[in-house]
Amino acid sequence: MTVGIDLIHFATADYYLGLDTFAQEKGTELEKYTIGIGQEKMSIAPPDEDIVTLAAKAARPILDQINPDAISSVLFATESGVDQSKSAGTYLHGLLGLSPHCRTVELKHACYGGTAALQMACALVKANPKEQILVIAADIAKYDVDSSGEATQGCGAVAMLVKAEPRILAIEPGSGYYTEDVMDFWRPNHRTTALVDGKYSTKVYLNSLKQAWQHFVSQTGRRFEQIDAFCYHIPFSRMSEKAHKALTKVAGMTLDKERFFAQIQPGQRYNRVLGNSYSASLFIGFCSFLDNAPGDLTEKRFGLFSYGSGCVAEFLTGVIQHGYQDVLMRQSHQAQIDARTPLNYQQYLDFYYPTITDPDNVAFEVHNRGAYRLAGIGHAIRRYQRRA
Ligand code: HMG
């Protein structure tokens, strides 16, 4: 029995801040962003958009293609949680009208949470092949104004249906993983923005890649040459180039430029214009690869590297299934990206730092144009709205 990703779809916000606008505001050369970190735009969520509405928008087209009552679990990965106790998965369960006979839980480890959810979903399906699991990875990346991370903000949610005999990616047994207690990026409970030691975080990311890869090789016996394409966690698109360079070096490979970029470039395209979406980033990169690769990927083996600051990393592989192209949702992905409205710098600040006098009682202006929005909070209870 194969187990893995049967359907995958992502959603992002209706607004973006261009790095050209950002560079002008900061008095920085635009090339620092477009070339130096490889970013052009960042998706910006208005106050009436949160991880739950993004997740609902990501999941809806999947549920429209299956019997929603068949969903046996919702595993919701995020580091932008909206409640310290209640799972975002339960809000999502209500908004999507899922069966009461469905488990929901929220998982967290920085950007690694989505991969943890995917691996747990695969294990649940292996234990009981009747399970059909909705895995969500959703985040809104926020750093302090004028911090090094500000240019790498963004947001997005990925929904994946994980089941037996999947139509897109069969996850292979065995993986390599690595944990180290480090302070490269973190967000204490009282903060809405993350703290980061930017340059140190890139070093820890690359060391974790090396460690996870070596563990992967020792666990599975697979070699670099047996992998056709690589998707990395993408905090900014240049990072995946640094990662691929580091991996080829540790694997003792010398690739010409064309092969080097062919193995990663289709996966950078969406992230370049969305920004970091933390736990969703790796999987948006995977969608980007599937949607934008020039040739047929059937039977190609993908290497997926997941990194979550703090830190946990995992390297795993999967094989693309026959007929995968028939179930991709390429048009929806591109349409959302194209339909976004540009913001000026002040509008971005107004979205990210709205004046709220009483956070337990607030009504949000309508900005979010999607099918699900956060209408407000009353007596500390979040009120979501579903549109026809
Ligand atoms: P910085 O320090 O402001 O930038 O921010 P810089 O001065 O290092 O410049 C960046 C690059 O642009 C450099 O290239 C410059 O040379 C180049 P590199 O040395 O890297 O090859 N550059 C230019 N290129 C062309 N024309 C120019 C020009 N000017 C400069 N005119 C930093 C960089 C990564 C520190 C910042 O973006 C940051 O703090 N980001 C947030 C942290 C981050 O994304 N870390 C990545 C690894 S950790 C991770 O991925 C986990 C995370 O997603 C969180 C989670 O797990 O939840 C963050």
CATH number at residue 220: 3.40.47.10
User: Which pLDDT score is estimated for 382?
Assistant: 98
Q: Is the pLDDT reported for residue 233 higher than 90?
A: yes
Distance, in Å, from the CA atom of 215 to the CA atom of 244, rounded to the nearest integer, reads: 17
Q: Determine how many CB atoms are found less than 10 A away from the CB of residue 223.
A: 11
Over residues 62-72, the mean pLDDT reads: 97
Helix, strand or coil, per DSSP, at residue 370: coil
Q: What is the largest CA-CA distance in the chain?
A: 60
Q: Is the pTM of this model over 0.75?
A: yes
Q: Give the residue numbers spanning the domain of 133.
A: 3-386
The number of helices, as runs of H, and strands, as runs of E, in the chain is 12, 18
Average pLDDT for 144-170: 98
The alpha carbon of 80 and the centre of ligand 1 are apart by a number of angstroms equal to 22
pLDDT at 388: 78
Catalytic (active-site) positions:
79, 111, 233
pLDDT at 232 over 90: yes
DSSP 361: S
DSSP secondary structure code for residue 79 in this structure: S
Going by CA atoms, what residue is nearest to atom 11 of ligand 1?
36
Cα(380) to ligand 1 centroid in Å equals 38
Residue 380: which residues within 8 A CB-CB, separation 6 or more?
360, 361
> Does the CB atom of residue 199 touch ligand 1 within 6 A?
yes
Count CA atoms within 13 Å of residue 99 on its CB side. Answer: 14
Mean pLDDT of 30-42: 98
Give residue 69 CA to ligand 1 midpoint distance, Å.
44
List pLDDT tens digits, range 309-355. 999 999 999 999 999 999 999 999 999 999 999 999 999 999 999 99
| Mean local confidence (pLDDT), 88-113 | 98
Q: What is the mean pLDDT of the chain?
A: 98
Name the domain count of the chain: 1
3-state helix, strand, coil in the chain (%, to 5): 40, 25, 35
Mean pLDDT of 118-133: 98
Detail the DSSP E strand segments found in the chain.
3-11, 15-18, 41-44, 73-77, 103-107, 133-141, 154-164, 169-171, 176-179, 185-186, 195-196, 229-232, 301-308, 312-320, 341-342, 362-363, 372-378, 381-386
- Which residue of 80, 191, 196, 314 sits with most ligand 1 atoms within 8 Å of its CB, as the best mutation to test the pocket? 196
Residue nearest to atom 13 of ligand 1 (CA): 36
